[in-house]
Structures are given as C-alpha cells and as structure tokens.
Amino acid sequence: MSGADAVAAPADPADPADPAGHVAADTAHAAGAALAEPVTRVSWRWTASLSLVNLGVFLGFFTPIQILLPMQLERLDAAHKAGLLSWVTGVGAVVAMLVNPLAGALSDRTTSRFGRRRPWILAGALLGAGGLLLTAGGHGLVGITVGWVVAQAGLNVMLAGATAPVADQVPSRQRAVVSGWTGISQSLGLVVGALLVTLLVGGIASGYAVVAAMTVALALPFVLFFADPVLPPGAFRSFNLRTMLAGYWVSPRRYPDFGWAFVTRFLINLGNAIGTLYLLFYLTDAVHYRSPDAGVLILTAVYTLAALLTAIPAGMVSDRTGRRRALVVLSCAVMAVAALLLALVHTWPATVVAAAVLGAGYGVYLAVDQALVTQVLPVAADRAKDLGVINIANSGPQVIAPAIAAPIVADFGGYFGLYLATALVTLLAGLLVHRIRGVA
C-alpha cells in the first residue's frame, strides 16, 4: 500500500486491526495536505539543508563511537577498553531502537504551527548535544553510559524528524537522488568527525564540545528556513500506552513489502556491522599494517569517496527508470565482492581496493534503498513512526554483530570466516529483495 492509497482510504478508528490511532475518516480531508503523496519537486536548497541535518546526526553518532568513546574508556580502564566500549555502545543501540519509533510516532501526531518534523529535529539536536557534553563529563563507566544514553535518545529523536521529510515532501520520481544526498551525509559523518577531532581540536572534552555544537548548528538551516506541512488538530485519536506499544509492530502479513524491506535492510547492516567491527584488529593481525589507526582513517576516506561517486548517479538512474530492486541487488553483489576480497587477500593494497568497492556498493544502496522503503510504508499518517521501525534495522545489527563476529574470529575461520560470513549475509539480503513486490 502506498502513502497515497493510505490517504484515499484512511483507517477506521473503530477497526480493532488498527490500534495505532490512524487518521479518522471525518478528519482525513482536513489532514490531506500533510498526508498526501507529494507531487512537487523539492529545490536543491531544501535537499542541501536536509542533508546538513543528517550530517549533524551522524557526526553525533559516529565521532564518539569511532574516536572519543574509545579514548575515554582507554583512560578509564586500558585493560578492559574493548569490553567497556561494547557495553556502552550496546546500551546506546538498545536505546536507539526504542526511542526512534516512539519519536517518529510523536512527530506524526504533532500539530504545531511549525509543522510535524522541525520541532523534533531541533529538540533532538539540543538533547543530543546535551548528552554529548554529559558524556564528556562522565568520570566513570556509569556516568559515561548515562551521558551516551541521553545523547543516543536525543540524536534518535533528531533522526526520526530528519528521515520523514523525504517521504512527506519529495515525489517518488526525485526520491532516490534526494536519498543519495542525505545518505552521503552518513558516510561524510565518519570522515568529517574524524578530521574535526584528530586534526582541528585536541582533547576528549573539546572534541565532544565541537561535535555537540556542530550537531545543533547543522540542524538550524532546515529548521529555520523551510516550511513543514502542518497537521490540523484532531487528526489523530489520543496517544496512549497501548497505541505506543502497538506502533512497534507492523504486521508483515498485512504489509509484506514493508516486512521484506525491513529484513533486507537488517541483513545488509548486519553484514556491514560484522565486517567493520574488527577492522582495526584485521589491519593489525592479518594485514600487519604499520599504523592501524591511520589505516582505518585512510580506508574510511577511500570508502566515503567511493560512496560519493556512486550514490547520486545511482539515484538518478533509479528515479529516471523507476527501478529500485535491481539496483539494491547490484549494491549487495558489489559489497559481497569487497567482503570476499578482504577474506581472501590480506594485503594493504587489496584492503584499499576492497574499501573502494565496498564504498561504491554502499553508495548505491544508500540512495536506492531509502527511496524503496519510502514507497512501501504502510500508512501515510505513520510515516515517521514506520521509518523509525525501519531504523531498528540500522541499530539492531550493532547489538547483534559482536555476538556473531567474536566466535567466528576465535573458532570458525578467523578473518577469512568473518568476511566470508559478511559476504554471505549481504548476498542473502540481495536475494530477498526480490520478495518486495510493490516496487519495480
């Protein structure tokens, strides 16, 4: 069911199969402007400003995980730093999975005169920045974890607001290109954050402060200068505990395309999480690169550049042809080739080539898969909530990957087994994309 279909045939509030408080029939017409399928192309300024919001989100996510938290936890307990990092990031990932759909549901129901998304983007940016500063001031494991939980909550509120505007305001014929630009921000967050913290500022506290300030600053152009469709009061039934809990479940029987989109995204992100978790150790133990820390930064830059080069062209092809699934399958195949290269050839040149190939495949995926997902959302009234559910497929693998990767490295083939598993999981995702029937 498309978003347009959902507006044309709104859910009956008395229907027991519809517990999530969808738009009632007598208010659907009044809510039409906010829920209708978009037909007017968005400007490059709109796309650029939303991309900046996404860059702010992923700066806040990735810079601490990559650099700041490991440095902080090493100072706390160098002997157990890996385990402490897994604990802190694992708790944060669980919070992300819980907060994102809830924030999306609240965003869907917001009737502010400033629109549904902008208030939550700004509130999330401020809360996320506060959490980052709280993390910086943490003097023990509990303090650092609490700060990171607050940061994750805020950043996921921001992400929920930042993900929905593509479905709200971008017509399907432009969606992959816009998704390419916003998706590139995810990869740029890795590089920009690393450069900010390692080259421009020194120290953990100042690093957190700069990232916090950037998170808020990058949100402001979209929040201040671009209109957001307004939902009229009374468009939803009251939001209660039953409604909230029901929102975490989207029936794959009623909405099979949404279910398969979730599964394929989960598998792709699981493959990526398994493959990148031990990259530093791979460079140290298998490649024997002289400076593994610098190597990770080089590989991240190569990966990001390759993603930049493929995301927008892939989005243009997808929008012009209307084809999504074939390009997602192609991206999975390309990423699997990169994983096999890492499994079979343990040299620095081969690793650089693999990073470029992986980035090229992931660039295609970033653009096209997000566009595909927006076309299989069950109900227009729940766009942000359902995109929040889909985002669990981004966070969930971060929790599961360590439990899968550690025994593989230890007992089932070492790094060969690790990257072979990455390739197989990614190829399985590509095969299952064909189960999505409602998108070409």
Closest by CA position to 261, among listed 424, 98, 392, 419: 392
- Predicted local confidence at residue 24, as pLDDT: 47
Instruction: Report DSSP letters for 249-291, one per residue.
Output: ---TTT-HHHHHHHHHHHHHHHHHHHHHHTHHHHIIIII--S-
Find out whether 122 and 142 touch, Cβ atoms under 8 Å.
Answer: no
In a domain, 139, yes or no: yes
Spatial distance between the Cα atoms of 134 and 148, rounded to a whole number of angstroms: 8
In a domain, 427, yes or no: yes
Spatial distance between the Cα atoms of 293 and 171, rounded to a whole number of angstroms: 42
Structure tokens at 415: 């790094």
Spatial distance between the Cα atoms of 10 and 106, rounded to a whole number of angstroms: 19
403, with CB counted inside 10 A (0-12, 13-18, 19+), is: exposed
- Packed helices 383-411 and 256-277: angle between N→C axes, nearest 10 degrees: 40
Residue 235, CA atoms < 13 Å, CB-side half-sphere = 25
How many domains, the chain?
A: 1
Domain harbouring 146, CATH code: 1.20.1250.20
Other C-beta atoms within 10 Å of 347: how many? 12
How much is the pTM? Answer: 0.86
- Predicted local confidence at residue 273, as pLDDT: 86
Chain centre to alpha carbon of residue 341: 26
In a domain, 23, yes or no: no
Spatial distance between the Cα atoms of 324 and 337, rounded to a whole number of angstroms: 20
In a domain, 153, yes or no: yes
DSSP state of 200: I
Instruction: Give the structural domain span for 390.
Output: 42-435
Sign of dihedral through CA atoms 310, 324, 396, 419? negative
For residue 109, what are the contacts with CB-CB under 8 A and spacing of at least 6? 21, 116, 231, 235, 236, 239
Closest by CA position to 235, among listed 386, 98, 379: 379
First to last CA, the chain: 14
Phi first, then psi, for residue 247 (nearest 5°) are -65, -20
Map 62-101 to HEC letters: HHHHHHHHHHHHHHHCHHHHHHHHHHHHHHHHHHHHHHHH
* Conformation bin of residue 322: beta by default, left when phi > 0, alpha when psi is -120 to 50: left
- Predicted local confidence at residue 145, as pLDDT: 96
In a domain, 55, yes or no: yes
Find out whether 193 and 66 touch, Cβ atoms under 8 Å.
Answer: yes
In a domain, 417, yes or no: yes
Closest by CA position to 370, among listed 170, 138, 102: 170
In a domain, 15, yes or no: no
In a domain, 216, yes or no: yes
Find out whether 322 and 378 touch, Cβ atoms under 8 Å.
Answer: no
Residuewise pLDDT in 10s, the chain (440 residues): 333 333 333 333 333 334 444 444 444 455 666 788 899 999 999 999 999 999 999 999 989 987 899 889 888 988 888 778 878 988 998 899 999 999 999 999 898 999 999 999 999 999 999 999 999 999 899 999 999 999 999 999 999 999 999 999 999 999 999 999 999 988 888 788 888 887 788 789 999 999 999 999 999 999 999 988 888 887 666 666 677 777 788 889 999 999 999 999 999 999 988 888 788 788 988 999 998 878 888 898 899 899 999 999 999 999 999 999 999 999 999 999 999 999 999 999 999 999 999 999 999 998 999 999 999 999 888 899 999 999 899 888 877 887 888 889 888 889 999 999 999 999 999 999 999 998 98
- Packed helices 141-169 and 383-411: angle between N→C axes, nearest 10 degrees: 130
